[in-house]
Amino acid sequence: MLLVADIGNTNITLGVYKNNKLLFVSRLNTVRQKTDDEYAINLKDILSLYDICDGFSGAVIASVVPELTNVFKDSVYKVTGNTALVVAPGLKTGLKICIDNPKELGADLVASAVGAISKYPLPCLIIDLGTASKLSVINEDGAFLGCAIVSGVEISLDALSKRTSQLPAISLEAPANAIGTNTIDSIKSGTLLGNAAMLDGLSDILENELGKPFKTLVATGGLSKDVIPLCKKEIILNKTLILEGLYEIYYKNVHS
């Protein structure tokens, strides 16, 4: 079995592959103060929840939280007995990165690109809606050309609530109408429908700059299920794209 882990700013997403099949997906809150022992306990509890005790042949981690990378790597070793591969410069990914400084590309964007290239027709636009909203452009040759990054949906909501004393915190649910007739529905309209419209519009701008139509638009990330259904464009929802990319990266390094 293979353990895959995506360490993000808000959540750590975990999965286990067996015989090329993803058995489950689980999430932990990202807590920068936790020790490797604490994460090991969390990890062991999650595996026990899915009746998995041993039998791991490897592990691979993508992390955008540098202070947790080695902490979580140590916890993985304590639980599985395997030293995890960490997506970083020097690891084989098969991805050509055409940006000013390829070393600064986030491991999550690398993994999602590798996952998309292995599964979907190119050129492709990858929309990752997490703490930040990231739109990555992959050309017809499978090269990462660059991306656009904007504040994530929850960041925008938090900023709105904190900076306006009369606006309440709300849950992420689409309003019945775009024209809000109360404060909560008005915020939902602006936030959810506004973000959907932004994705539709920005994808057009990126496509025009690429000079070719995207054959695939695919979305991932924890907030994608809330926003993507509101978009006018046909966008594939793939919640496990980063984990799929990590799976591909692991086998490029172990079996190449």
What's the whole-number mean pLDDT along residues 40-44? Answer: 97
Span 107-123, pLDDT tens digits: 999 999 999 999 999 99
pLDDT of residue 78: 97
Q: Is 108 a catalytic residue?
A: yes
pLDDT of residue 4: 98
Average pLDDT, the chain: 93
Tokens 């604490």 locate to: 38
How many Cα atoms are found within 13 Å in the side-chain-facing hemisphere of 51? 1
* pLDDT for 175 beyond 90: no
Write down the H helix ranges in the chain: 36-49, 66-80, 107-119, 153-163, 183-188, 194-210, 224-227, 241-254
What is the pLDDT confidence band of residue 185, given thresholds at 50, 70 and 90?
Answer: confident
Token digits of residue 50 = 């899915």
82: amino acid identity, one letter: N
For the chain, the structural domain boundaries read 2-86, 96-245
Q: Phi/psi at 227 (nearest 5 deg)?
A: -100, -40
User: Which CATH architecture group holds 2-86?
Assistant: 2-Layer Sandwich (3.30)
Domains 2-86 and 96-245 share a fold: yes
Q: Given 108, 128, 185, 226, which residue is catalytic?
A: 108
Domain 96-245 grouped into CATH 3.30.420.40: yes
Any idea which of 13-17, 99-103, 140-144, 179-183 has the lowest mean pLDDT? 179-183
* pLDDT for 165 beyond 60: no
* pLDDT for 84 beyond 90: yes
* pLDDT for 166 beyond 60: no
What's the whole-number mean pLDDT along residues 15-30? Answer: 95
